[in-house]
């Protein structure tokens, strides 16, 4: 498909940092695809669309979030029966480059900084999809400032599309949604049973797919999430270790301790002592020694 280059200055004034659009897609491909001199993020809000991207045609549905880079050439064709509504946000190259430098540990090599042939795409489960819609709606009426687009992108990458699920863009949609659901305490506290219930498939099918996609069994996958949550509580919350064990859904303390030590190399108590800081106590120490 022939390619045309779109320019950011066509959409925004020099003092503006981004462009927001919420639109219905046409039901036929345009005469040419387009690449850009800017980055963009789009979210399928409703309906269905064919997405021609770098020579490949994808079928996209609600909850699919894509981070498009300047060199990515693409075009859309909405489903003739269902139509398709998307949310699209364009932002300057300097913004992406700054965020990748400043937050390299969280952004480098993924999201809009992906180095792969295809752009980074995330399949959002219901909770994350609702969160994405909410943060996008806030951006829609915001002043087109650099601060607002940076805030939006940081929320999008750290609170919407940040699930460390090990799930690729080619994973079955039902499995990706189950992995997204598994980030919820309501699901992971039930262990592998909660994950399998969220998947809505047979135990054997979920086990086989999980092993193929992540290299882990459902129990290993969900326990990894539970232990990461436990570590978060230990370094940020004063509740007892027994309460942490209960919050993660474990009914066997010895099993929890064994998993935690395997993942972090130290006991939960050692981890807490190493990471938990009382800001009031620290302030008092500084005042006493200042």
> Digits of tens for pLDDT over the chain (290 positions)?
899 999 999 999 999 999 999 999 999 999 999 999 999 999 999 999 999 999 999 999 998 899 999 999 999 999 999 999 999 999 999 999 999 999 987 888 889 998 889 998 887 877 778 889 999 989 999 999 999 999 999 999 887 776 545 555 567 878 887 887 787 888 899 999 999 999 999 999 999 999 988 888 999 999 988 998 898 889 878 889 999 999 999 999 999 999 999 989 999 999 998 886 555 555 443 444 44
For the chain, the C-alpha Rg in angstroms (whole number) is 22
CA distance 72 to 262: 41
Strands 33-36 and 3-6: parallel
Are the beta carbons of 227 and 266 closer than 8 angstroms? Answer: no
CA distance 136 to 124: 14
Domain boundaries, the chain: 3-160, 173-279
CATH topology of domain 3-160: Jelly Rolls (2.60.120)
CATH topology of domain 173-279: Arc Repressor Mutant, subunit A (1.10.10)
Domains 3-160 and 173-279 share a fold: no
């Amino acid at each position: 498909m022939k390619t045309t280059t779109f320019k950011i200055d066509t959409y925004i004034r020099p003092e503006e940092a981004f462009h927001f659009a919420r639109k219905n897609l046409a039901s036929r491909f345009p005469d040419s695809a387009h690449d850009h001199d800017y980055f963009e993020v789009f979210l399928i809000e409703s309906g269905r669309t064919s997405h021609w991207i770098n020579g490949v045609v994808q079928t996209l549905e609600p909850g699919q979030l894509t981070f498009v880079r300047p060199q990515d050439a693409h075009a859309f064709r909405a489903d003739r029966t269902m139509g398709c509504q998307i949310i699209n946000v364009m932002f300057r190259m300097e913004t992406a480059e700054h965020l990748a430098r400043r937050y390299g540990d969280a952004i480098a090599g993924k999201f809009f900084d992906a180095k792969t042939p295809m752009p980074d795409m995330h399949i959002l489960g219901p909770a994350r999809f609702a969160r994405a819609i909410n943060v996008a709606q806030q951006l829609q009426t915001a002043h087109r400032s650099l601060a607002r687009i940076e805030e939006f992108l940081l929320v999008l990458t750290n609170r919407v599309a940040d699930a460390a699920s090990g799930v690729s863009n080619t994973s079955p949609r039902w499995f990706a949604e189950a992995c997204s659901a598994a980030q919820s305490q309501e699901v992971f506290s039930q262990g592998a049973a909660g994950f399998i219930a969220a998947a809505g498939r047979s135990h054997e099918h979920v086990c086989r797919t999980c092993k193929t996609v992540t290299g882990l069994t459902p129990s290993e996958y969900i326990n990894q999430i539970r232990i990461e949550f436990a570590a978060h509580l230990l370094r940020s919350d004063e509740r007892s270790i027994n309460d942490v064990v209960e919050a993660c859904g474990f009914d066997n303390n010895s099993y929890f301790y064994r998993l935690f030590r395997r993942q972090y190399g130290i006991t939960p108590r050692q981890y807490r002592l190493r990471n938990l800081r009382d800001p009031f106590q620290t302030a008092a120490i500084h005042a006493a020694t200042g």
